[in-house]
Chains A and B, each alone.
Chain A
Amino acid sequence: MATYDVTASPIKINDVTKIMGKISLFRKINILSFLRRLNSTVDSTETEKFSLSLKEWWDDRKGPAAALHSMNTVRVPLIKEALIGTRDEAGELGPHPLKGFSILDVGCGGGILCESLGELGSDVLGIDPNPVAINVATTHLMLTKNSSDIKDRVKYQSCSLEDLIKADSEPIDTDSSSEDFDCVVASEVLEHVADVDMFVHQLSQMAKPGGSVVFSTINRTIPSLFLAKMAAEYIFNILPRGTHDWNKFVTPEELDEIVKRHSMSTVSVIGLGYNPLTNVWNYQSDTNMNYFLHAIKQ
């Protein structure tokens, strides 16, 4: 990923170490990503579902990622609320309300969420086991951002969460102790992982004590079977068929239990409503379909 800094902006190799605070971490991950993955929460059949092209990932008008683009209008303010206690809907906090915060986006895909979080001033690391998606994310960031500071704030790495944890736990440099994040985000990934319990445990490991872990996912209910799975994949064709396996969906109650097991406590759960005709999301009290859960690591 550092490749792009070198080509797109006039940054000398000497500066790269300075700019990338997490450089030691990236080096470790790269080595690790060549190792065979054991004990993984990554489901390889799931990973292949997301080999979309740059055009597919970044088409906010139609196609498989359109709903994820518009979902930013609700999930970004909720992540903001988790970090700074307000959604700042009036925009009073200026253009960079998340300045100084570090966010890990697990399962970042084509970087739809990472770029928006980076726009608000935070330092974002997006990881995804699918190298195609990471390549899309990196390319898009370099293609479309005109200011160089956001390119420095947002980083991507093709690796799994366990790669990151292994890299984190093997101190190579002395300054690698503070690799934990203010907020760890698992948005629209929970429904795709093989072992939810272990995945949540890993997310918790990456958060600072007192930091946040936030989830957005689909509830396992009868309405969600018909609407989020059947209608989205077979009637509206919003998503490619087979995107979701309903049996993997997690209910908010189950998730609350799981986060408790891994020394976190749920702060809030909010329902997210989606209108497929207008591609508009809104907040709602009903969590039967999509919901957002904010937990704090103790």
Chain B
Amino acid sequence: MASLMKLLQKQPHSFSLLSSTMRSYSNEPLYDLVIVGGGMVGQALAVCVGQTPAMSNARVLLLESSTEAPPTTSPNQHYSNRVCALSLGSVHFFKSYGVWPLITSIRAKPFKKIHVWDACSPSSIGFSVDDLSDSLYSISSEQYTGQSHEEGLSHDALGYIVENDVILQALSNKVNEESNIEIKRGVTLKSIDHTQMKDSINNPWLSLPLSDGTCISMKLLVGADGVKSRVRKLGGFQDPVNWNYDQSAVVATLDIEEGMSENTVAWQRFLPDGPIALLPLTDDKCSLVWSTVPSHAEQLMKMSPEDFVASVNTALFAEFPQDQLVSSANEVLRNAISIVSPGSVSVRQLPPTIKDIEGESRGMFPLGFSHSPHYVKQRIALIGDAAHRVHPLAGLGVNIGLGDVIYLHEELLKTSTAGGDWGNITSLLSYERESQRLNMPIMAAIDGLQRLFSTSLTPFVALRSLGLQLTAAAQPIKDIIVNYAQRKY
């Protein structure tokens, strides 16, 4: 032992270095991952991390600013007015983490067709599983529908309409099952200590004071706290590129006339003031998402239920004045296409007629587009609406957010299996590159589509009408759109 003591004394110069720096953060709890925001994407990330064996010793904290308990929806309860159109990719994601059975045990409605048509021209597009190219279809039938019976997956579904509350409830049940995930409700972050960014040696971790007076340290902070992200603001991220569409969305749950066929089509019509969409909930109920100018939205909110139903029916069925030029241009194109590929011009189908509106289900919110130029910084990553927000036009918002979760989890997994540090900027930048590469085109497409359709100027109407015609006829373009809807990430 004496010789050992001698050995210990041989490196005395390191003592001071250690004692001065160790003190500063040794008392704070150190988390591997802190997720701010208990919404869909935040909880989805927590579930992924909690279920990955390589991450089972990670200490995870989920911070939720609201003190409300997670929603509890029972299968026979009223439908909520906020719904998502989950793509098959998102469904697959939920399936692989055991969340999907929890969702279907409450309720989820498959849609088998998307029907899009224009109010100012005779053109329309329809998408169904038949539009999938063979290779894609074989993947989808194998991977998505292999266990269709027991997990309630319909073999010809393009996606599922699910209420936000149902997804949240399923996710929070899963999060509660994970022993390494801690949840704090009613707590927000007060500030972010930027000294770590400058001196990563003496301050290796990010430390945050919380509103409850405690202070925590972490290797990685994830902002899943929505459009007005506090993490983005406090983290010193460059302001996102954003604009408002000067549009608001009116949402509601509607009762429809029971038609002859089952209610499995997602309907979307482009009106001069914005798109109106009907998403199937049950055989006799639909969810409405109507984007329009704010003044009109306010009117819609105030009017009597009877007038509201009448307005919706008018928006879905009324013939809008069609420009002569547009009609004739379409006619020429239609003829041209039918010569080149007979049978490819779609026949328009009719949406269901609205009977009534469910109780107090009307709601309204402003619409905007925003995209943060950066999703990551040293030890900080943004996911979901904190990083980007799209027009609800195609119901893609949550699917893009879940894409972020998948790419970030993939990078964290690479880091974990190489014994690395989750906050390292190289792997966070890989997440940023990958998710921006896939998000930007679809976000630009949604934004462009929205702009193109929110005008009744003749050249634009002609352009989009021809565009829709061409899309209906041109298989490859249709494939791109359907591919996105079906992407398995």
Contacts and interface: CB of A to CB of B under 8 A. Distances in A.
A58 B425 CA distance: 13
A174 interface: no
A94 B56 contact: yes
Interface string A68-95: 0110111011001000000111111111
B3 A27 contact: yes
Interface in A227-257: none
Given A73-B427, A91-B54, A280-B426, A27 B7 contact: yes
A194 B102 CA distance: 63
Given A72-B418, A278-B429, A7 B18 contact: yes
Interface stretch (A140-148, A179-187, A199-207, A264-272): A140-148
A152 interface: no
B22 A8 contact: yes
Contacts of B58: 95
Nearest to A2: B8
Interface stretch (B38-46, B393-401, B408-416): B408-416
Contact of B419 (A7, A89, A118, A278): A118
Interface residues of B, number: 44
Contacts of A59: 200
Contact of B17 (A74, A139, A279): A139
A13 B4 CA distance: 9
Given A91-B416, A139-B18, A70 B56 contact: no
Contact of B54 (A6, A58, A74, A88): A88
B423 to A, nearest CB: 9
A30 interface: yes
Interface in B14-53: 14-15, 17-19, 21-22, 30, 52-53
A116 interface: yes
Interface residues of A, number: 57
Given A88-B417, A91-B413, A95-B416, A58 B430 contact: no
Contacts of A139: 14, 17-18
B425 A61 contact: yes
Nearest to B424: A60
A93 B419 CA distance: 13
B384 to A, nearest CB: 23
B255 to A, nearest CB: 47
Given A2-B7, A7-B18, 8 more contacts: A3-B11, A13-B4, A55-B201, A91-B52, A91-B413, A120-B419, A139-B18, A278-B426
Interface of B: 1, 3-5, 7-8, 10-12, 14-15, 17-19, 21-22, 30, 52-58, 200-201, 204, 378, 413-421, 424-427, 429-430, 433
25 contacts: A3-B10, A3-B14, A4-B14, A16-B4, A17-B1, A23-B4, A30-B7, A58-B201, A59-B200, A69-B424, A72-B418, A73-B414, A73-B420, A73-B427, A91-B413, A92-B53, A93-B54, A94-B53, A95-B55, A120-B417, A139-B14, A139-B18, A142-B22, A279-B426, A279-B429
CB-based closest 3 A-B pairs: A91-B54, A116-B419, A119-B419
